[in-house]
Structure 1
Amino acid sequence: MEDCNKATVESKASPWWKEILQSLVIAAVLALIIRSFLFTPFYIPSPSMEPTLYPGDRIIVNRLAYRLGEPRRGDIVVFRYPFDPGRDLIKRVVAVGGDTVEARDNVLYINGQPQPPAEYLPPGVVYSDFGPVKVPPGSYFMMGDNRNNSADSRVWGTLDGKLIIGKAFLVYWPINRIGFLK
Structure 2
Amino acid sequence: MNLDFALILTVLTLVTFVFWVIERFWRKRRQAEAEKPVEKTVEVVGSLFPILLIVLLFRSFLFEPFKIPSGSMIPTLWIGDFIVVNKYAYGLRLPVGNHRFMEIGDPERGDVAVFRYPVDPRINYIKRIIGLPGDTVTYRNKVLFINGEPVTQDSEGRWVGEGLNRNPPGTRPEKRLEHLGEEPHNIVIYPDRPDVETRTWTVPEGQYFVLGDNRDQSLDSRAWGFVSEDLLVGRAVRIWMHWDCSRGCVDWGRIGDRIQ
TM-score bin (small chain): 0.7 to 0.9
1:65 corresponds to: 89
1:101 corresponds to: 137
Verify the 8 A CA contact 1:130 1:154 in the aligned structure 2: no
| Partner Cα distance (1:168, 1:23) in 2 | 33
| Partner Cα distance (1:171, 1:129) in 2 | 36
What are structure 2's unaligned runs of at least 5 residues?
Answer: 1-43, 92-103, 154-177, 179-184, 243-251
2:258 corresponds to: 180
| Partner Cα distance (2:126, 2:239) in 1 | 13
SS in 2 for 1:72: coil
Matches within 5 A, 1:153-172: 153-172=221-240
Equivalenced residues, count: 162
Letter aligned with residue 180 of structure 1? R
What is the RMSD computed on CA atoms of the aligned residues? 2.0
| Partner Cα distance (2:132, 2:198) in 1 | 17
Letter aligned with residue 153 of structure 1? S
| Partner Cα distance (2:234, 2:217) in 1 | 23
**TM-score, reference length from structure 1:** 0.82
Q: What are the Cα deviations for residues 110-150 of structure 1, in whole angstroms up to 9, with x where unaligned?
A: 10001112141126567544421000011110000001100
Cα distance change, pair 130–80 in 1 and its aligned pair in 2 (3 A): farther
**TM-score, reference length from structure 2:** 0.58
Moved over 4 A (4+): 21-25, 123-127
Deviation at 1:104, TM superposition (A): 1.9
The structure with the greater share of residues assigned to helix is: 1
SS in 2 for 1:86: coil
Deviation at 1:82, TM superposition (A): 0.4
Identity of aligned residues (%): 44
Matches within 5 A, 1:30-179: 30-67=54-91, 68-117=104-153, 118=178, 119-122=185-188, 124=190, 128-174=196-242, 175-178=252-255, 179=257
Deviation at 1:158, TM superposition (A): 1.2
Structure ranking higher on relative contact order (CA contacts 8 Å, 6+ apart): 1
SS in 1 for 2:240: strand
| Partner Cα distance (1:163, 1:33) in 2 | 19
SS in 1 for 2:187: coil
1:9 corresponds to: none
Deviation at 1:38, TM superposition (A): 1.4
Letter aligned with residue 147 of structure 2? N
Verify the 8 A CA contact 1:101 1:134 in the aligned structure 2: yes
Verify the 8 A CA contact 2:189 2:216 in the aligned structure 1: no
| Partner Cα distance (1:140, 1:130) in 2 | 19
